[in-house]
Structure 1
Amino acid sequence: MKKYIVALAAGLTLSACSGGNPFVADTGTGTGTGSGGSTGGGIASDRTVPPGTQTPVPDASIFRSEPTSTDAGKSGNGYATAIAYDSATDEFSVDNLGFDGNNVYARDTTPDIVSNLPFAVYEASAQLPDSLTGTPINQLNHRAIYGVSQSGNTKFAIVRTGAYVEYGFGGFVYERDGGVVLPATGQALYTGLSQGLRDKNGTGGLQHTRADMSIAIDFDDFNDVTGTRGDAVRGNVSNRRIFDMDGNDVTDGVLGSINASLNTTMTAIPDATFVVEPGVLDDNGEILGQMNSYYVDSSGQNQVFETGNYYAVLSGTNADEVVGVFVMETTRDPSATGVRDTSGFVLVRQ
Structure 2
Amino acid sequence: MARLLMLFLVLTLAAGCDSDGTNPFDRDDPADPGDPDGETPSGDIPETLAGDVTRVRYDPADNTIVVEGLTLDATPFEAVYSRAPALEANVPGYRVYTAQDDALDRHSTAFAAQSNNSGAVRAGVTVTGGPRNRFFGGTYYERDGGFRPPAGGLVTYTGRYAGLTNVGGSGEDLIPVPGGTNPELIPDQAAEVTGGVVMTADFSDNSIEGNIVNRSLEGTPLPSLVLVRTDIAANGTFFGNVEFDSRHPDSGDNPVGNDIGDYGGIIGGPDGDGLAGSITLSEFDGLGDQLGFENEEEYGIFVLDRCGTPGAADPLGLCASVN
Deviation string, structure 1 residues 195-240 (Cα, Å, up to 9, x no partner) = 1211159x9852011110011012223xxxxxxxxx2211100011
Equivalent residue number for residue 22 of structure 1:
23
Instruction: Find the residue that maps to 1:338 and give its secondary structure.
Output: coil
Does the 8 Å contact 2:197/2:210 carry over to 1? yes
Gaps of 5+ in 2: 169-183, 308-323
Q: Does 1:110 align with 2:86?
A: yes
8 Å Cα contact 2:198-2:211 kept in structure 1:
yes
How many angstroms does 1:81 deviate by? 3.9
- Closer/same/farther in 2, CA of residues 68 and 346 from structure 1, 3 Å limit: closer
Would the aligned equivalents of 1:285 and 1:313 in 2 still touch at CA under 8 Å? yes
The reply to whether residue 139 of structure 1 matches residue 117 of structure 2 is no
The whole-number CA distance in structure 2 between the counterparts of 1:140 and 1:297 is 36
1:220 matches 2:204 = yes
Residue matched to 1:311: 264
Shift of 1:183: 3.3
Q: What do residues 280-300 of structure 1 show as CA deviations (whole Å, max 9, x unaligned)?
A: 2111111111111146789x9
Higher helix share: 2
CA positional deviation for 1:341: 1.8
State how far apart, in whole Å, the 2-side matches of 1:67 and 1:348 are: 23
* 1:142-153 paired onto structure 2 within 5 Å: 142-150=108-116, 151-153=118-120
Question: What displacement does 1:303 show?
Answer: 3.9
Q: What is the aligned residue count? A: 268
TM-score (norm 2): 0.68
TM-fit CA distance, 1:114: 4.9
For residue 81 of structure 2, give the secondary structure of its aligned residue in structure 1: strand
Root mean square deviation of aligned Cα:
4.0
- Classify 1:68/1:286 alpha carbon distance in 2 versus 1 (closer, same or farther; 3 Å): closer
Residue 51 (structure 2) aligns with: 77
- Larger gyration radius, structure 1 or structure 2: 1
For residue 58 of structure 1, the aligned residue among 36, 39, 58 is 36
Matched, 1:238 2:213: yes
User: Within 2, Cα distance between the matches of 1:313 and 1:346?
Assistant: 10
1:345 aligned partner: 302
Give CA deviations for 1:45-101 in whole Å, capped at 9, x if unaligned: xxxxxxx655342222204376557xxxx9x93245415374x77x67473499xx9
* 2:193 partner letter: T
Contact 1:63–1:174, Cα closer than 8 Å, also in 2: no
The correspondence for 1:292, drawn from 227, 243, 250, is: 243
How far the C-alpha of 1:168 sits from its partner, in A, is: 2.4
Confirm whether residue 175 of structure 1 aligns to residue 142 of structure 2.
Answer: yes
- 2:194 alignment partner, SS class: strand
**Counterpart amino acid of residue 124 in structure 1:** A
Percent of aligned pairs with the same amino acid: 25
Deviation at 1:337, TM superposition (A): 3.8
Counterpart CA distance in 2 for 1:54 and 1:166 is: 39
Task: Please give the TM-score of this superposition, normalised by the length of structure 1.
Answer: 0.64
